[in-house]
Amino acid sequence: MRDSTPTISDVARLAQVSPGLVSRLLNGDTSLRVRSETEERVRAAAKELDYSPNAVARALRRARSGLIAIGVHDAGNPIYSAITEGAEAAASEAGYALMLADVDALAHDDAAFRRVVAGGAIDGLLLQRAGTESDALIAKIASRTVPTVLLNDRTRGSIGSIAVDDYAAAHVATSHLAELGHRRIALLQVDGPKSRTDRRRRGWEDALAAAGLVPDPALIANGGHTPEDGANGMRTLLAKGGFTAVFVANILSAIGAVSRARDSGRTVPDDLSVVAMHDFGLAAYLSPTLTTVRLPLREMGARAVGMLLEQLDGGAATHEVVSSPAPLLVVRDSTRPVSGSPR
C-alpha cells in the first residue's frame, strides 16, 4: 500500500505507458486509438491504485477551476436556499462544485474578494441580487474578471441575469383574490430593485383591472422581505384600512404580516385574506396555512448555472426569465371568499 496519493505518473508506470496516454484515456479523448489491451492495462492500474486526478493540477493546466461561486445575502432565507440547492445540483451534475460566499463580505473585505473572485479561483459567479449597494458594486467589478449571472434580476446589459416571472406571480395571486370576490385588494411589496417592484405592481394592477377593479395607490405599502418588515408593512396598511385582502410579495414578509394582523385583532382569513409570493414547506403548517404562489426557484438556480457554463463555452451573456413551471397557486387556508364590508 502506498502512503501518498497516487499521481498520473504512478498509474502510467504501473500500466507501462506514458502519463500523456493515461490522461487522454481517462478523459475519454475520442481522437484516441488505443489498443484495447493497453486500455485495459491502464484502467486496471488506475483502479488498483484508486487513482483520482488531482483537481488543482488539472485546474491549473486547463485554466479552469471547476468552481462556481454563489454570492448570497442570507443563506438561511428559504427562498435563497432553494435557489442555492438548484444551483448546487446543476453544478454537481455538470462536474462543477459550488462555493458559498457572503456578498457583504465580498463587498467589504478586499482580500476575500480577491481570493474568491480575482485569483482565478472560480470559473463563474452567481450573484444574489437583493437591491443593496454591495450587489451592484460586486457585480460590476466581478463581471470584468469572470462570467457572472445575476439572480433574481432582469438587468439588461453585459452581465447575464435570470429571474422568475414576477409579473405572472403577482397576477395569479391577485386574480385569485379577485375571484374570491374581494374588491379592495392591497399590495405589500418588497423594496428590491425598482424594475422588479414595478413588475409585481403591474401584475397586481393588471389583475385588478381584468376583474374590473381599480388599483388604489393607497393600498400599497412596503412589506420588505423579513417577517419584521412584513409586520411593519401590515401595520401601515391597517392604519389606512379599507381592504379585505392582500397580496404579499414575499413569503417571510407574509408571515410577519399575518402575525401583525392577528395582533391587531384581525382574523385571517375571516377578516382578511392573504396570498404570499413564494412557497415553502412550512407554509402548510402555519396557522392559518398560507395560500401561496409557488415559483421555480430551484429551476432558476439550475438554469443560472447552465447560463454560466454557456458563457464559459464562449457564449454571450443572456437574460432569461424562468417561466416553466409557471407560477402555481397553492390554495390553503389564508384566503376565502369575501364576507361583509371592508374594515
Partner DNA sequence: GTGAAAGCGCTAACAA
Partner DNA sequence: TTGTTAGCGCTTTCAC
Instruction: Determine if 26 is a binding residue for DNA (CB under 7 A).
Output: yes
The residue count for binding a copy of itself (CB under 8 A) is: 59
Q: Which stretch binds a copy of itself (CB under 8 A): 37-45, 151-159, 223-231, 334-342?
A: 223-231
Q: Which is nearer to a copy of itself, 14 or 98 (CB)?
A: 98
For the CB of residue 110, give the shortest distance to DNA in the complex, in Å: 17
Residue 330 is given by DSSP the state E
8 Å CB contact between 45 and 79: no
Q: Which is nearer to a copy of itself, 123 or 135 (CB)?
A: 123
* Closest to 11 (Cα-Cα) out of 19, 3, 33: 19
Q: Which is nearer to a copy of itself, 66 or 342 (CB)?
A: 66
> Angle at the Cα of 173 (from 167 to 178), degrees rounded to 5?
115
Q: Which stretch binds DNA (CB under 7 A): 2-10, 69-77, 164-172, 312-320?
A: 2-10
Q: Which is nearer to a copy of itself, 16 or 62 (CB)?
A: 62
**Interaction residues for a copy of itself, span 163-182 (CB under 8 A):** none
Residue 27 is given by DSSP the state T
Q: Which residue has the cell 506514458?
A: 18
**Interaction residues for DNA, span 299-338 (CB under 7 A):** none
Instruction: Determine if 328 is a binding residue for a copy of itself (CB under 8 A).
Output: no
String marking each residue 278-317 x if it binds a copy of itself according to CB under 8 A: --xxx-xxxx------------------------------
Residue among 231, 249, 276, 277 that touches a copy of itself (CB under 8 A): 231
**Interaction residues for DNA, span 59-88 (CB under 7 A):** 60-63
The residue count for binding DNA (CB under 7 A) is: 31
Is residue 273 exposed (0-12), middle (13-18) or buried (19+ Cβ within 10 Å)? buried
Find the radius of gyration of the CA atoms of the chain.
Answer: 26
The half-sphere exposure of 137 on its side-chain side, counting CA atoms within 13 A, is 12
Euclidean distance between CA atoms 218 and 220, whole angstroms: 6
Segment holding 277, helix H or strand E: strand 273-277
